[in-house]
Structure 1
Amino acid sequence: MQASETLLDRPAAFDERRHFQRVNVDLLGRFMLENRAEYPCRIENMSPGDLAALSPVSPRVGERVILYVDHVGRIEAAVSRLFAGGFAATVRASDRKREKLAAQLTWLANRHELNLPEDRRHERMAPRNPVVELALEDERRYRATIIDLSLSGAAVSCQVRPAIGTRIMLGTTLGRVVRHLEDGIAVEFARVGDGEALASRTD
């Protein structure tokens, strides 16, 4: 049984689940347990009230966890149940935070419906300094040149082509590889808006 099926088909354990529409997503992230140990995860579906995460480690039911999810940011949650290969959790957030999360999920749903590896609706920007350092997770570093830049992603010319899905750093901006180009890669930023800071950097 798929993680999304277990979350959607099982009767709600919390009343608030019934008030939110879940969005199928494919977001990388990590989560921290109460003992501060951190592990990677992949969010399969999410609403402003709950989420389903795939993970190699299973937290305890009822345990409070803090998730850091690409495009979404920090989320506090409580584990509601476990399933094979992951867990479901109820989001703990203020009404204002839930509204913001709903807006982010709407954007993500539209992006995936259009099958866009990055949000092409955002205006393209010209960086003040197109030369940037590209760092991989294993700490290898390369000189790269930004060809094209928006609030949500960039096309980068570089001598390496990491696998699609690989996390990288462009300067101090976190992103992941979403497509290979003829002379480089297309990068999707971890948060919408990160491209503005990258465009204005002068170092």
Structure 2
Amino acid sequence: MSLIVEFELRTPILRHAADAIGELRLEELYGIESGTAKLLFWAIDEEFGPFESALAADPTIAEYTALDDAPDRTLYSVALTDAAADKLTYPIAAELDIAFLDIDLVDEAVVRARVPSRDALFTYRQRCLEKGVGVRLRRIYREQEPDVDPYGVTDSQREALLAALEDGYFEVPRDATLSDVAAELDISDQALSARLRRGQATLLRHTLADDPI
């Protein structure tokens, strides 16, 4: 039975730009014939000017393009610098049959992955360290473990959702602001916004959606 692993991935890729946006949702990593590594991701927030300035200043990004947009999100393609591409750990994960299920790029890069065995996990960690990319394990559990949250939310998402609910953030009118709840949890407004959005999306996928996957 596969393992589910949550870990912090201490990579410099997009770290500067991530500080300027509410949430980044990775869609795809791919390469082109020139050998350039590119990332495709959604940036989710209410305003994107500061984020694009941060993209332009991010030392791991060679160039970026906005491909599509909606009222609260924009799809970006970014080409990584050669030095940044060398820090990518996806090729290692793919080689070891490790599947990344979720990546939260707010505050720090937190990854939830399906891992075939502890040996694969430790091999992945060792090869990341050889690249100069730190890995800090947070949690390991069996995929069908009965005490795992049945709705798929992470511990941090659950904490944020319950705090917002108890403080009256979801009331109409609201009894608490985003900043009030963020201060209680000792995290930034952007981090809380991302956890609430991602947690709500996960709950909807596991309850109302026809296909919970």
Same fold (TM over 0.5): no
Which bracket does the TM-score occupy, shorter chain normalised?
Answer: 0.3 to 0.5
Q: From the two aligned structures, give the one with the greater helix fraction.
A: 2
Structure with the bigger RCO (C-alpha within 8 Å, sep 6+) is 2
TM-score by length of 1: 0.34
